[in-house]
Chain A
């Protein structure tokens, strides 16, 4: 199986709200000093899923990332986990690309790589939480699509994919080539071994620009964006918390019980 995984560097989504800041003038997030971005957790699951398939059926895992910041870091993480090679898409013309431009550029890169059986993405990037790029790539490539998968199995040249539904799940029969996006229910991504990390540290990644993947300027970058960001801000919660206290926890609890009954519908 030739598997391509799309991974995105994002501001650590577990970052406590207190450390999260927004530049109101520039409408952009201010990342905490010195803290590198991480591989979007759902993408790490996509890498994990790819490696599991490779372990079962053999083949090759190639990772792709588009961006400017910390792309090397996430590439190294993927290789440390066990991915075979990776390409970084980076070009001034790509800056400000929206989900569809991103999908277009990644699709062009996939075409340049040429052969593939399966493309894996995260269900959504843990920064803008859109959940669009994978689906759009499937449309552009005209391959079968399953979103929010929790398990993938390769059966005689086809996929058997279990995907999450609000009230349960569905098992689907999926012809190849296909694009599948992974959801958190799939489990945990592996932690790279020390050896893996050292191999990754030595790895070089070729960078592709617009010309390399023959991406039309009109379809990439801010100019091609279908939405403009009017405002980005941190929501203010108009709540003031009344702290219940007492001489001991029991008394406090008793007090809380009364107050709860008071507001109980």
Chain B
């Protein structure tokens, strides 16, 4: 059995980007994924930003199964009854000018997998990598059950639950405090209905994010993305908070769907699939060692996710890291040196790309986002004020503001708001 230049574990964005980069450079690459087919179990909200993808596959949207492009972005604060939204719509041309894209992983990953195979890499699905083959400290390949596969370098892109990263002694298991739990439903709706309800036409798409009661005030939020003829509806919640408060994410998504402001959006739609997945959100602070003798790690497996706002930016980072990993291996091959010293180049490449820079810049964001006030006090305050402006109940307004303030007593104070605003400026 031949020795591959590289074995990539995981055919997600990170793994595909790495494999594609290496295969294009003529390396002999094997990609192993445990899913029955590429993209089988993969899920995400569905919005991602184009540049890296475009660097990898120029003009990808022309052939890739992209659902819609981002033309409208809505951020909403919700309490049990109310919902206050900031709605941004920009009517720039079409895909080519789009800042971001909405996709469904199953289709998109499959397309990327096709590209990777065209480039000459072998993708073998239905194979779960269970361990590494060590020669001293040098990783020489991987084990799938009792089968061995040899390679000069292993690119580890097996996602957030990476058991292998720990086996390679790159990190210990992620802690609940550093993870968010995402649950999502895909709900089928006719194209026309989507366009009516969300005020879009053609390929325009909407990303909606919700903060507040949708997570029962726990750190996280709800989201809705418009696909071609379905919606992605879900919630993302701090895992630790879920465990501490014994809340089930599946219950939260049901509540979220039933919220008076949300229900009308998916009404009469038929749920096609339900999925749950973890997200590493503590950024640079939870990032493991990125390389060792004969191995580099990329994507969620290395916690390369940016969770500044509610939008989760993982795919970009995963792909950028994948490219960097690929380039690292290509150079290592030129040098014929696959030890950690040669692979250390990976970290430089990541720095020169935005990946580590951004994650460094937003180092504080995760902590800021743990602030409970964002998820209960502020939505209540905001909605309270609006309710107040709209409902005239005869009383002079001033008093009602006061009562509102009283109602907020103990939840938030003026100086806290000021302080949070400062923090926000620093963190974001």
A19 lies within 8 A of B272 (CB): yes
Given contacts A33-B107, A34-B109, contact A202 B122 (CB under 8 A): yes
Distance in angstroms between the alpha carbons of A198 and B144 in the assembled complex: 13
B123 lies within 8 A of A201 (CB): yes
Question: A262: CB under 8 A from chain B?
Answer: no
Question: B61: CB under 8 A from chain A?
Answer: no
Distance in angstroms between the alpha carbons of A194 and B32 in the assembled complex: 9
Distance in angstroms between the alpha carbons of A34 and B122 in the assembled complex: 19
Complex interface: chain A residues within 8 A of B108 (CB): 34
Complex interface: chain A residues within 8 A of B270 (CB): 18
A197 lies within 8 A of B126 (CB): yes
A195 lies within 8 A of B1 (CB): yes
Chain B residue with minimal CB distance to A36?
A: B37
Distance in angstroms between the alpha carbons of A18 and B270 in the assembled complex: 8
Q: Which of A18, A192, A202 has the most CB of B within 10 A?
A: A18
Complex interface: chain A residues within 8 A of B1 (CB): 195
Closest beta carbon of chain B to A193's beta carbon, Å: 7
Distance in angstroms between the alpha carbons of A202 and B28 in the assembled complex: 12
Distance in angstroms between the alpha carbons of A21 and B190 in the assembled complex: 13
Complex interface: chain B residues within 8 A of A193 (CB): 147
Closest beta carbon of chain A to B133's beta carbon, Å: 13
Chain B 103-126, CB within 8 Å of chain A: the 1/0 string? Answer: 011111110000001000011111
Distance in angstroms between the alpha carbons of A195 and B122 in the assembled complex: 12
Question: B196: CB under 8 A from chain A?
Answer: no
List CB contacts (< 8 Å) of B318-356 with chain A.
none
Chain A 166-201, CB within 8 Å of chain B: the 1/0 string? Answer: 000000000000000000000000011111011001
Partner of B127, one of A18, A33, A34, A197: A197
Distance in angstroms between the alpha carbons of A34 and B110 in the assembled complex: 6
Partner of B106, one of A18, A34, A195, A201: A34
Given contacts A34-B110, A194-B147, contact A18 B126 (CB under 8 A): no
Chain B 34-46, CB within 8 Å of chain A: the 1/0 string? Answer: 0001010000000
Chain B residue with minimal CB distance to A202?
A: B122
B106 lies within 8 A of A21 (CB): no
B110 lies within 8 A of A194 (CB): no
A33 lies within 8 A of B106 (CB): yes
Complex interface: chain A residues within 8 A of B145 (CB): 194
A35 lies within 8 A of B106 (CB): yes
Complex interface: chain A residues within 8 A of B271 (CB): 18
Partner of A19, one of B39, B105, B273: B273
Partner of B122, one of A18, A35, A192, A201: A201
Distance in angstroms between the alpha carbons of A35 and B110 in the assembled complex: 9
Question: A32: CB under 8 A from chain B?
Answer: yes
Chain A residue with minimal CB distance to B32?
A: A194
Question: B184: CB under 8 A from chain A?
Answer: no
Complex interface: chain A residues within 8 A of B377 (CB): none
Closest beta carbon of chain B to A51's beta carbon, Å: 18
Complex interface: chain A residues within 8 A of B109 (CB): 34
B144 lies within 8 A of A194 (CB): yes
Chain B residue with minimal CB distance to A77?
A: B126
Given contacts A34-B39, A34-B109, A36-B37, contact A195 B147 (CB under 8 A): yes
Distance in angstroms between the alpha carbons of A191 and B144 in the assembled complex: 13
Closest beta carbon of chain A to B388's beta carbon, Å: 42
B104 lies within 8 A of A198 (CB): no
Given contacts A21-B188, A194-B144, A195-B147, contact A33 B104 (CB under 8 A): yes
Chain A 1-45, CB within 8 Å of chain B: the 1/0 string? Answer: 000000000000000001101000000000011111000000000
Complex interface: chain B residues within 8 A of A32 (CB): 106, 272-273
Chain A residue with minimal CB distance to B144?
A: A194
List CB contacts (< 8 Å) of A148-176 with chain B.
none
Distance in angstroms between the alpha carbons of A193 and B123 in the assembled complex: 14
List CB contacts (< 8 Å) of A126-161 with chain B.
none
Distance in angstroms between the alpha carbons of A32 and B229 in the assembled complex: 12
A194 lies within 8 A of B124 (CB): yes
Partner of A197, one of B37, B124, B188, B272: B124
Distance in angstroms between the alpha carbons of A34 and B32 in the assembled complex: 19
Chain A residue with minimal CB distance to B145?
A: A194
Question: B60: CB under 8 A from chain A?
Answer: no
Question: B57: CB under 8 A from chain A?
Answer: no
List CB contacts (< 8 Å) of A187-239 with chain B.
191-195, 197-198, 201-202
Distance in angstroms between the alpha carbons of A69 and B180 in the assembled complex: 38
Question: B368: CB under 8 A from chain A?
Answer: no
List CB contacts (< 8 Å) of B51-102 with chain A.
65
B107 lies within 8 A of A34 (CB): yes
Complex interface: chain B residues within 8 A of A36 (CB): 37, 110
* A–B pairs, 16, beta carbons within 8 Å: A19-B272, A19-B273, A32-B272, A32-B273, A34-B39, A34-B65, A34-B104, A34-B106, A34-B107, A34-B108, A191-B126, A192-B126, A194-B32, A194-B147, A197-B124, A198-B124
**Apart from the given pairs A33-B65, A34-B108, A194-B32, 12 other A-B contacts in the complex at a CB distance below 8 Å:** A18-B272, A21-B188, A32-B272, A34-B105, A34-B106, A34-B110, A36-B110, A194-B147, A195-B1, A195-B147, A197-B126, A202-B122
Q: B residues bordering A, Cβ < 8 Å? A: 1, 30, 32, 37, 39, 65, 104-110, 117, 122-127, 144-145, 147, 149, 188, 270-273
Q: Which 5 A-B pairs have the closest CB atoms?
A: A34-B106, A34-B107, A197-B124, A201-B122, A194-B147
